[in-house]
Structure 1
Amino acid sequence: MAGGLIREFCAENVEHVPEAIAAGAGRIELCDNLAVGGTTPSHGVIRAAVEVARLAGVPVMCMIRPCGGSFEYTEAEGRIMVDDLRHAAELGVDGVVFGCLRGGEVDRELTGRLAGLAKEAGLMVTFHMAFDEIPADRQAEAIDLLADLGVDRVLTHGGAAGTPIAGNLERLRWLADHVAERLGILPGGGVTWENAEGVAAAVGVGEVHGTRIVRL
């Protein structure tokens, strides 16, 4: 699995993107404001990252999130996300990353709208770690819905934020087995260049995510 493992590097801006690609990053997740879990990057950052990554043949996933805090969005914030998604597509990203909740469950309406627009533009879709805020006993239902809505992968820590990834491997494996071929599970949060291969093997996946997923 090591040779085919996709290491998705979470980049807060374009500064470390060339270095990360040289170190083996096979995909870039581009965002701003990691201190609040990531928000939509600026026009200039998206353009520059796409330019760098395209030369190396590495896809760029762009965060679509108008603000930090809750993953429940107002109607106005939803319109911002639609506009930002369309703009990112125009700038040449390969995919988008978002997570929309309503009452502790997937926001079916907004998620469906964003995923539909992304698919119309030929983009991949990742539902991010907002997924981990869904109660564990509702996650199977949630992930089935995400698959039906056209989401390609779910970025998840497999447990509460801050818990050691090693303690969540069983849950991550369960999620990966549950979704089978319908969508991918992307382990993140505490996955580093040092443990990436072990995490991937334990969960049974071919891709992992993190800010330290390659050795810089």
Structure 2
Amino acid sequence: MIKEFCTENYTDISKAIQAGAGRIELCDNLAVGGTTPSLGVIEETLALAGEKHIPVMTMIRPRGGDFVYNDMELKIMENDLIHAKNAGTDGVVFGCLTKENEVDEEALEMLLGNSAGLMTTFHMAFDKLTKKEQFKTIDWFAQLGIDRILTHGGPASTTIDENLPHLKELVDYAAGRIIILPGGGITANNAEEIAAILGVNELHGTKIVAE
């Protein structure tokens, strides 16, 4: 099973890899859900993780708050993505919505266009979609070639246990066409059980490996 360790701190990465992290999601400002880390942090993380052959997914998000971005914010995201790609990141993590809480198609097209050759994850902005829209979006993202969707299976205020039935529906519907990556409240203590219940082999969290 791949345990994706979500971090905002370079100094935690070596310890996490030793504890069994199989992939890194690199962010800044986890208190607001994660934003784009500095280029310096990206470069040093890639050097460290590369020695251990651990892939790094870099968050592309210009600020906390909602996922509705204006033209300047999207330009910043484009530049950040290009810089991360040039630095050698293995993948990028992003999400973009309209004011109606639907996927922003134009923004997504721009981000994917700059992500050629990289792994791509659409992050928990997915959880803002209606459940009906989520299933349609899985079909669409699978066709686009997005690698995975990071989802808590419900609002951030809910527990992972409450969301297991819906997460199972998403996993079953995706049926191997796209990876559903559960996250939010998954720890080293409950990871194996959750993976078994959902039938997944990738999980995400800030406490996904033991300290």
CA distance in 1, matches of 2:150, 2:164: 14
Q: Which residue of 2 aligns with 1:115?
A: 112
- Tell me which of 5, 10, 14 is aligned to 1:14: 10
Q: Which residue of 2 aligns with 1:124?
A: 119
Q: Match of 2:177, SS? A: coil
**CA-to-aligned-CA distance 1:101-153 (integer Å, 9 cap, x gap):** 1121111111122122212xx10000000100111221111222222222100
CA contact (8 A) 1:72 1:101 kept: yes
The reply on whether 1:155 has 2:160 as its aligned counterpart is no
Q: Which residue of 1 aligns with 2:74?
A: 78
CA distance in 2, matches of 1:85, 1:7: 24
Aligned length: 210
| Code of the aligned partner of 1:183 | I
- Tell me which of 176, 184, 208 is aligned to 1:181: 176
CA distance in 2, matches of 1:36, 1:87: 22
How do 1:135-214 residues align onto structure 2 when only pairs under 5 Å count? Answer: 135-214=130-209
| Code of the aligned partner of 1:111 | L
CA distance in 1, matches of 2:138, 2:110: 17
The reply on whether 1:105 has 2:102 as its aligned counterpart is yes
Deviation, structure 1 residue 204: 1.1
CA contact (8 A) 1:36 1:69 kept: yes
CA distance in 1, matches of 2:109, 2:17: 32
Q: Match of 2:185, SS? A: coil
Alignment TM-score, normalising by the size of structure 2: 0.97
CA contact (8 A) 1:158 1:168 kept: yes
Unpaired segments ≥5 residues, structure 2: none
CA distance in 2, matches of 1:167, 1:130: 19
Runs of 4+ residues deviating >2 angstroms: none
Unpaired segments ≥5 residues, structure 1: none
CA distance in 2, matches of 1:73, 1:149: 21
Percent identity (aligned): 56
